[in-house]
Structure formats: C-alpha cells, structure tokens
Amino acid sequence: MIIGTRGSKLALTQTEWVRTRMLARNPAAAIEVKVIRVSADWDSETPIRAGDARGVFVRELDDALLDGAIDLAVHSMKDVPSKLPDGIEIRVIPEREDARDALIARTPGATLGSLPHGAVIGTGSVRRQAQLLNARPDLRVTEIRGNVDTRLRKLDEGQYEAIILACAGLRRLGLGGRISSILQLDEMLPAPGQGALALATRAGDAETLRLAAPLHDPAAAAAVAAERAFLRQMGGGCNSPIAVHARRDGDSLRIDGLVFSPDGATAIRESLARPVQEAEAGGGALALALLDRGGREILAAVR
C-alpha cells in the first residue's frame, strides 16, 4: 500500500502519524509513503486567494489516486474542495486536533487586544484577515506565503509583529510553545474542516479502506460533515470569506457560522443546534440562514 502526501514538513508529519497508527493495527502490512509534488508548494506567483486556486493543495494527489500511483492520500481537510472528483471518496476522518487559530507574536504572551496600534499582521487567509479587521480595524494585515517554518522565520526577522496559524499544525509539528495566545471561537471562527485530516481513497477500494477504517472518529466526522455541508451551501472554497465550526454537545451538534466582507466591516453570524445524525442538514440550514440575512450580497460582491 502506498500513501501519497505533499512534501512539506507538516504534510509528512501528518502522513507519518497516519502510517504509524495503521501499522499498529496491521503490523504485517507493507505501507510506504510517496511524496507527490503539488503545484501550490512551488508556484509562488499564483496567489492562493485567486478564484481559480480552489483545490491547489490536493489536485495532484487526486490525480495520483485516480492513476493508481498511490492508494491513499492524506489531506488537511480544510484544503479539500467541497465537491470531490468522481472516483474519489473520503470515508475516514481521524480524531481531530484543536480547530482554533493561534496568534504567534514577537512579544511573548501577546493577545489580539494587546498588539500595538497599527501592528503588521501576516496571513494568507481572507477569513483571518476579515476577522482580524473586524476586531481591530487599526491593524495592517498583509499577505504571507510559505510553510510553517518559513512564516515563523519571517516573523522572527521582524517582517511582522505577529502572524496567525492553525493550532493544529503547530502542535503536530511540536511547535505549540510558539503560540502567544489561542484565538477563542468568539474572536475567530476557523475554516471548514480546520484541524481535521481526510484520508482519501479510490471509490470501491475495499482493501485500502479496511486498513484505514480503524482510524475513523465518528465525532470528528459529524462535525466535519456539518462544516462541509455549510461550505457547499455557501458556495465557497478554502479561502472564501466564510467561517464555521461544529462541535458535539451530548447528542447534539452546536454549529456556529459566519460570513463577512474582506475588510471586516460587515459580519453576519448565526448559530444553531441539531441532532448529531442531522449534521449535514444542520450545516446546510445554517448556511441558508446566513445567506438570507445578507450573505448572498456579501459573497456576490466578493466574486
């Protein structure tokens, strides 16, 4: 069996996490890792925010799956488009890491509220940009590219006062100590699927699914199903000005959603609770509520 992955340190770390757990349950299996070159990792010219950039972190891995070059692909779920290519399915979602965003600042212990007036903040995400500006219109939010190590180096060199990264990636890389403060859900809602992994296989590949299935976490899967249903109904991609987070509360899912203008001036937020078995319906219903409250106009203006 061959697992495909991007070549970044984070992607390799996540893939090894999956491989180790699969081998622990299937010690006689032969499981190899194959690095697939993904255009988004070497193309520094195309902005990740570009409208045609949807799926740029998974496209070549999808092709490798369909061509039979690999048997399973490990994705960060937030990079996976809301519609999967024909012939590919995601039926295994492992236990989810912390879905929240983190502030990494040059000043230890800094919070969003304590940053200096006019501080330069680095992020490549429209979602993060809008929520930062909604909370602190005085901040100067600028583009940042590169993997986690590159972004931390740029921060340490003084190019930014702070940057925003996902808690999950930092913790998986053993860099949780770099977090100055965690942005709580009332400060910044995450991207759909943030903190979750997606194990993609060819449709009908029963043997690969058999090996991967023990890693599936139903609670994470329900939350991700709600968030991706929200994403589909909103018609957004991985860098649209929308945010959503679902979490289990007993037999229910609490789902929070947000749509906003990129400058942060306009933000519409809604919440609802649905039974866990109605995760997708709940995500779709939340999206419709936001669209009816003005989300359609916001997204139309952005597009």
| Catalytic residue chosen out of the listed positions 71, 79, 98, 101 | 79
79 is catalytic: yes
Are 246 and 279 in contact, with CB atoms under 8 Å apart? yes
Are 106 and 220 in contact, with CB atoms under 8 Å apart? no
Of 221, 216, 207, the residue nearest 2 (C-alpha):
207
Q: Which residue has the tokens 């622990």?
A: 24
What is d(CA 158, CA 23) in angstroms, rounded to the nearest whole number?
A: 43
Are 3 and 33 in contact, with CB atoms under 8 Å apart? yes
Please tell me the number of Cα atoms within 13 Å of 174 on its side-chain side. 3
Query: 3-class DSSP state for residue 144?
Result: coil
Would strands 2-5 and 72-76 be described as parallel, antiparallel, or unpaired? parallel
What is d(CA 202, CA 168) in angstroms, rounded to the nearest whole number?
A: 27
Of 129, 120, 116, 159, the residue nearest 47 (C-alpha):
129
Of 11, 125, 97, the residue nearest 61 (C-alpha):
11
- Paired with 102 in beta bridges are 165, 182
Which residues are annotated as catalytic? 79
